[in-house]
Amino acid sequence: MITVVLAQPRGFCAGVERAIEIVERALRKYGPPIYVRHEIVHNRHVVEDLRKRGAIFVDELDEIPRGAITVFSAHGVAKRVEEAAAERGLPVINATCPLVAKVHNEGRRYAAQNREIVLVGHAGHAEVEGTIGQVPAKVHLVQTVEDVATLEVADPDKLAYITQTTLSVDDTRGIIQALKDRFPNIVGPDVRDICYATQNRQQAVRDLAHTVDLLLVVGSRNSSNSNRLREIGQELGKPSYLIDDAHALEAAWFEGIRTVGLTAGASAPETLVQGVLDGLRRIDTIEVTAQDGVAEDVRFRFPAELADVE
């Protein structure tokens, strides 16, 4: 028999729930098709489900007919994207996570102080590209402590840093310390501004890894926070697998395994977690228990045009 311990918290965060609900409400209010620039969240199952219901996902705005209802994803977009949508006459519903929007506002505030900005994040991530495009200042992207050593800035005394929301305090601590060591007058947000959901899910996995033999993370390959959860399990010495769903399970993983930790990235729905439990039951008898952890009750408001849609 295998004991499966469910991480708490796991799965959808408030920003993801809001973004998905925005697309669902838009479909109910305006009818299909609704056009969404990029994946609304980084989960293949969520995207496929919305596609079946009439959402059309596009890479660029020129793929959207003029005047069609358009949704921007939870990751946020650059200013130039907003301007291009206005030029094309696209009625836009903005599903940017409020915590991402908060980072944009911080960046603009520092830019207004004539500071160059250091953004701690992953190159190519949709949120990073959107943030860089929202800040009217020179933005330096750093991904590692080593990157800090090679930074070239105009004025070391006029610097500020901001961070990608899907990185936790632990992910960024070393880089921020390196920035402060090299640029003593750098300013930045309080650590309390780090995304609560990222921090909570990572802490749950750290606690879980001390009590289980193996870790399963439900999430898509292109999900930054899901990948990080798997990495944490690996760093703590436990075999750790990132899986899309139950179909990815391999019986060989569980030979000699007595306890399995099961979590999900912030963009993975609970139905996939329950599906993985069913998949594990096909491999062995399981007993399911829940980890003691943080209960999240954060909720974000919907855009005004959808606030009254049920």
How far is Cα 98 from Cα 101, in angstroms, rounded to an integer?
A: 5
Residue 47's nearest CA partner among 204, 212, 244, 224 is: 244
Residue whose tokens read 């769903």:
245
Q: What is the pLDDT of residues 166-214, one digit of tens each?
A: 888 888 999 999 999 999 999 998 776 678 899 999 999 999 999 999 9
As a whole number of angstroms, the distance between CA 171 and CA 206 comes to 13
pLDDT tens, per residue, the chain with 310 residues: 999 999 999 999 999 999 999 999 999 999 999 999 999 999 999 999 999 999 999 999 999 999 999 999 999 999 999 999 999 999 999 999 999 999 999 999 999 999 999 999 999 999 999 999 999 999 999 999 999 999 999 999 999 999 999 888 888 999 999 999 999 999 998 776 678 899 999 999 999 999 999 999 999 999 989 999 999 999 999 999 999 999 999 999 999 999 999 999 999 999 999 999 999 999 999 999 999 989 999 999 999 999 899 8
Dihedral sign, CA of 48, 54, 55, 59? positive
Identify the DSSP state of 213. Answer: S
Task: Decide: 82 and 47 in contact? Cβ < 8 Å.
Answer: no
Contact of 6 with 274, CB cutoff 8 Å = no
Catalytic residue among 39, 116, 127, 129: 127
Burial readout 55-81 (b: 16 or more C-beta within 10 A, e: otherwise): bbbeeebeebeeeebbbbbbbbbbeeb
Question: Considering just the CA atoms, what is the radius of gyration of the chain in Å?
Answer: 21
Distance CA 139, CA 65 (A): 33
pLDDT in tens, 102-116: 999 999 999 999 999
Per the CB < 8 A criterion, the answer to whether 225 and 166 are in contact is yes
CA distance 36 to 8: 31
Instruction: Report pLDDT for 67.
Output: 94
Q: Furthest-apart CA pair in the chain: how many Å?
A: 62
Question: Contact at 8 Å (CB) between 36 and 58?
Answer: yes
Q: What is the pTM of this model?
A: 0.93
| 21 assigned to active site | no
Domains in the chain, please, with CATH? 2-12+196-290 (3.40.1010.20), 14-97+301-306 (3.40.50.11270), 99-193 (3.40.1010.20)
DSSP state of 211: T
Closest CA to 43 of 247, 248, 265, 195: 265
User: To the nearest 5 percent, what fractions of the chain are helix, strand and coil?
Assistant: 40, 15, 40
pLDDT at position 226 is 94
Helices (H), the chain: 14-30, 44-52, 79-87, 98-112, 126-132, 145-149, 169-182, 196-209, 224-235, 270-281
Structure token digits, residue 60: 């660029």
Give CA separation, 212 vs 11, 43, 118, 215, 246, in Å: 19, 26, 38, 7, 19
Tokens of 304: 């005004």
